Chain A
Amino acid sequence: MGAAPASRDVTSYGMGLAAPLALFFLVFFVAPLLQLFWLSLHNDTAGLHWGLGQYLHFLTDPFSLGVLGSTLLLGAEVTAVCLLLGFPIAWLYQRVGPKLQTIIILIVLLPLLTSVVVRTFAWIVILGRQGIINATLQSLGIIDTPVKLLYTQFGVVIALTQVQMPLMTLPLITALGRIDANLDDASCSLGAGSWRTFFRIVLPLSLPGVIAGCTLTYAAAITAFITQSLIGGGQMLFMPMYLYQQASTLQNWPFAAAISIIFLLAVLAVVSVFTTLGRMSRGYGGA
């Protein structure tokens, strides 16, 4: 810093300004996570006997592995549906005038800022035995008795899709906005049809946005404790509830710590796969 010319110096601030937050994170974020890791390496609740017992327990227990598997699968399903529904929104956004653009953005944005309990509660009203879907189907005479929608995988996926859709749509809107509109026209005037132009030009060029959206949606969907527990009910168990039960109800902290670490690693693995794909796609998009 001292050697830098004065003209550069005035445009930047010293790293010291980051020290308070760095210290805060060290004490209240890094230290707790390290302690969590430390406790997960113990075989007893008091934390006296070192060992990998908790991890062995999880990784050899079909029930625990099932919970992990269904959580990761749930994330994949929600991400796929969000992408399928979110991409056309982003596409439509680029096609309409500024007024409609603002309306679309506000429609996408509002749920993101509305309480997640409220949004989940709405799905209980919609999917319930007396809910809109059942009432409509019954009045149309399609079904006689209410269909079970609440407490099913379908219900959880549709509710989570709505809850997480903004996280997918916003990066997609940003990515599509950066694509040169002339490319689209060029492709079409050279004889490629709209579908072909979409899959060969627009989709590849928007990959950075797709990957950013998928990362956020996936990470949010698998940790969405409230929606999973209220729409899934007691029969369906996912990692966040499993963790909470072990920690709170059963007070089995070392096992809960091991679940947390395994869950953390699973999320990190998924995020780093997405990040690697993102780096590759940026190279592709720039080529």
Chain B
Amino acid sequence: MSGRKRTWEAISFELVMTVIAVIALVIIIAPSLVVLIVSFTSGFSLRFPPPGYSLRWYAELWNAWQLHFAAKNSLIVALWATGLSVTLGVAAALAISRSRTLSARLLDSLFMSPLVLPALAFGLAALMLFSLVGLPVSLLTLVIGHTVVCVPYVVRNTVAALAQLEPTLLESSAVLGASRLYTFRRIVLPLIRPGIIAGAFIAFMSSFDNVPVSLFLRDAATDMLPIRMWQDLEGKLDVTIAALSGVLIIATVALVAVMERVTGLSRRLTN
């Protein structure tokens, strides 16, 4: 770009692109900021800007036992689904990542397909299957359903990490007499660990936030947080939900900051 003449034509192009980019970035970030500000309102409505500021709705949140119950369920399901996704997903990623056979590519497409197919259709299908075999909806059915839609993130990130692994490292290790298991534990696993953690993190977040599968696989006894919030918002515009949103936004920012340090999350998602 150094030798380019700063013509009006070039300036107009850069101006238009930069202005649109800035507007787009504002559109992306503004809603979260607005919710954060509104959550500290002292009033009873979601008016913006708030008439005054207080922590009353955060105090209100402390007593909202229905939300606590739903949050606890969501957390339990997300942890189990993530654990199951990592166990099954990392093993599968090891098998398919370095293989160029047709079956490996077919399996890869199969494991990725929950990302594109409408999850709502899968939720309904899973409900039908569970009711056919006589398994009532419970935290177990939720964990199974969530694992199906979360495992692609683990597989994708682990495969990406394995693709960057130098095969010569494994060969050297073998030549020097290390067993396969030893090489895996001491060479492969430490190198792909950030990829696995990044995948597990995204899987966890998407399970915690899942609506389409939970919609069919939960009932009143296994209420899930996003569904509870959705139903609260359908009924009335509750400021408590703003406080809860504030908590979730801050927790997300904190987790992303930690993940950026541990795994370099942003580089992973743009490579």
Contacts and interface: CB of A to CB of B under 8 A. Distances in A.
B266 A88 contact: no
A223 interface: yes
Contact of B233 (A15, A124, A188, A195): A124
Interface residues of B, number: 105
Nearest to A104: B25
Nearest to A171: B270
Contact of A124 (B13, B132, B237, B271): B237
A258 to B, nearest CB: 11
A92 B249 CA distance: 26
Contact of B128 (A36, A130, A271): A36
Given A13-B98, A18-B96, A109-B265, A162 B116 contact: no
Name which of A21, A116, A128, A177 has the most chain B CB atoms within 10 A of its CB: A21
A21 B92 contact: yes
Interface stretch (A25-33, A57-65, A278-286): A25-33
Interface in A6-52: 6-7, 10-18, 20-22, 24-25, 28-33, 35-36, 39
A28 B144 contact: yes
B35 A125 contact: yes
Interface in B66-122: 87-89, 91-92, 94-96, 98-99, 101, 103-104, 107, 110-111, 113-114, 116-122
Nearest to A263: B118
Contacts of A68: none
B31 A21 contact: no
Contacts of A14: 95
Contacts of B121: 33, 36, 243, 260-261, 263-264
Interface in B212-271: 212, 215-216, 226, 229-230, 233-234, 237, 241-242, 245, 248-249, 252-253, 255-256, 260, 265-266, 269-271
A114 B205 CA distance: 8
A2 B124 CA distance: 44
A13 B94 CA distance: 6
Contacts of B157: none
Contacts of B249: 114, 118
Contact of A117 (B122, B125, B230): B230
A213 interface: no
Contact of B13 (A7, A165, A195): A195
Contacts of A185: 1, 3-4
A25 B125 CA distance: 13
A104 B95 CA distance: 35
Interface stretch (B42-50, B54-62, B189-197): B42-50
Contacts of A177: 270
Given A91-B21, A114-B248, A193 B27 contact: no
Contacts of A111: 28-29, 31-32
Contacts of A107: 25, 28-29
A34 B30 CA distance: 43
Given A123-B31, A184-B1, A260-B124, A10 B171 contact: yes
B95 A16 contact: yes
Contacts of A31: 129
B249 to A, nearest CB: 6
Interface bin, chain A: 35 or more
Interface in A162-215: 162, 165-166, 170, 173-174, 177, 181, 184-185, 188-189, 193-195, 198, 215
A106 interface: yes
Nearest to A135: B48
A3 to B, nearest CB: 14
A121 B245 contact: yes
Given A117-B211, A260-B120, A110 B92 contact: no
Contact of A193 (B10, B120, B147): B10
Contact of B180 (A10, A28, A105, A130): A10
Contacts of A230: 230, 233-234
Interface of B: 1, 3-4, 7, 9-10, 12-14, 16-18, 20-25, 27-32, 34-35, 38, 45-48, 87-89, 91-92, 94-96, 98-99, 101, 103-104, 107, 110-111, 113-114, 116-122, 124-129, 132, 144-145, 147-148, 151, 155, 167, 170-171, 173-174, 180, 183, 202, 205, 208-209, 211-212, 215-216, 226, 229-230, 233-234, 237, 241-242, 245, 248-249, 252-253, 255-256, 260, 265-266, 269-271
Interface of A: 6-7, 10-18, 20-22, 24-25, 28-33, 35-36, 39, 84-86, 88-89, 91-92, 102, 104-111, 113-126, 128, 130-132, 135, 158, 161-162, 165-166, 170, 173-174, 177, 181, 184-185, 188-189, 193-195, 198, 215, 219, 222-223, 225-226, 229-230, 239-240, 243-244, 247-248, 253, 256-257, 260-261, 263-264, 267-268, 271
Given A7-B174, A88-B17, A174-B271, 15 more contacts: A7-B171, A10-B174, A15-B101, A22-B92, A24-B148, A36-B121, A85-B20, A105-B270, A109-B265, A113-B202, A115-B248, A226-B226, A230-B233, A257-B128, A267-B116
